[in-house]
Structure 1
Amino acid sequence: MDVETRSNPFGMDEDCRNCPALCDTRESVVHGYGDVAADFLFVGERPGETADRTGVPFAGDEEFHPLTRTLGRLGLCDLTSDPARPHLEGAYLTYLTRCRHPDRVPTDEEVDTCEPYLDAEIRMINPELLIPVGQRALWRLGAEYTTRSADDLRIEDLHATTIRGRGFELVPMCDPREATESRRDEWVHAFADVMASDYRQTKGRRER
């Protein structure tokens, strides 16, 4: 699969103007990127500065983003590829929101407005596991795919655990840019165990 196919593979609107307050602050509308046959779909809160510039979620500059570097340890990212357009196998990267404001996080309304894009990616990829990256993504995916209350969805407590959900299992990850090395190691070891398990047989939903 070539880079063009991996970047926004479903041809979503790259000139979206649904959030007027973001149209003048963004460089790119950052839709999902990666392997469309992925077993693992990673969801962050919003594009960072490099992702906004390149249009690729979790893109790096001269070095890999901490998330893609973590995926490299699991064989899901080729760490000899371009950090700005990493070669992923088995993983797909996306965000709750597609546009970056340099001075603030997205509003709840902006997250709601972008939700159809995320829902469409989840439906079309049909992954085995969802990985919320950070607290905001955990709240959103937890509300949609588990029966837990927001008070029970604390990323510090649920990092590197598996949550049985409705249709999908979630494996939350603390934001790797902010996590300590030991917390990143904890998630890698836990996810390696998940990858070695019969996770495809435990999700309780339709097969591809």
Structure 2
Amino acid sequence: MTNPFGLRPPFDRSAAGDRAAVFGYGDANADFHVVGDHPGVHGGKRTGVPFTETAAGRAIQTVLRDVGFASGPADEPTLENCFLSYVHPCSLPNGHEPTPEDYETLERFFDAELRAINAHILLPVGERATDHLLREYTTQRHRFDASLDLSSLHAEEIRGRGFLVVPIRDPSEWDAADHEGIVSRLESILGRDYRQTKGVATMVG
């Protein structure tokens, strides 16, 4: 399901033919919530679906298919037990990056989706999403250097009191082992009673 909570973008700076925003998509009762950066990085400006169109988005979708979360068409997959969203859901013209003020403006929209889904496992993709989740939704950010090393954090489990954060290195930087690493980690989590980690998506750690 696209935008199950009926959110509306606070601004429209999209190019002609692009969606004003790419809000959350998938199973609103999901245990796994995949969080990307913005549509210009991870895709969806034309489809309206996160993690489509771009090479990075397709790489993430391949992982979801390998563990059984996704099936069906690439541009409009059927998702089970998985929800997708972006820290910055609004679209910008090609080559334009969100400003710190843009991220701050859109924080309440991302926060509303994350709290409504209230997933067991949070899967941030790339440095921006990982930094944001660790900083705003856990007390774990101080454990890591100012510049997060996603090559070492990729597919690792960072436990809070209410959920697990499992960072994913941006697919544009993957080496040969990174795809298999995150698939294996997700299969391991699915093979155990991960639901005991459920909690309220707030400041936990």
**What's 1:3 paired with?**
none
In structure 2, C-alpha distance between the alignment counterparts of 1:85 and 1:109, rounded to whole Å: 31
Residue 192 (str. 1) matches residue 187 (str. 2):
yes
Task: Calculate percent identity across the aligned residue pairs.
Answer: 40
In structure 1, C-alpha distance between the alignment counterparts of 2:62 and 2:119, rounded to whole Å: 21
Residue 84 (str. 1) matches residue 75 (str. 2):
yes
Q: CA deviation at 1:26?
A: 7.7
The match for 1:65 among 58, 61, 65 is: 58
SS of the aligned residue for 2:84 comes to strand
Q: CA deviation at 1:169?
A: 1.4
Unaligned runs of 5+ in 2: 201-205
**What's 1:113 paired with?**
105
Q: Which moved more, 1:126-135 or 1:42-51?
A: 42-51
Give the TM-score of the pair, scaled to structure 1: 0.84
Q: Which amino acid aligns with 1:8?
A: N
Q: Which amino acid aligns with 1:11?
A: G
**What's 2:44 paired with?**
51
Residue 16 (str. 1) matches residue 4 (str. 2):
no
In structure 1, C-alpha distance between the alignment counterparts of 2:102 and 2:16, rounded to whole Å: 14
Q: In angstroms, what is the RMSD of aligned CA positions?
A: 2.1
In structure 2, C-alpha distance between the alignment counterparts of 1:8 and 1:173, rounded to whole Å: 23
SS of the aligned residue for 2:45 comes to helix
Q: Which amino acid aligns with 1:159?
A: H
8 Å CA contact retained: 1:44, 1:95: yes
**What's 1:35 paired with?**
27
Higher relative contact order (CA 8 A, sep 6+): 2
Unaligned runs of 5+ in 1: 1-5
**What's 1:141 paired with?**
133
The 3 A distance-change label for structure 1 pair 23 and 51 is closer
Residue 156 (str. 1) matches residue 114 (str. 2):
no
8 Å CA contact retained: 2:63, 2:182: no
The match for 2:123 among 123, 131, 134 is: 131
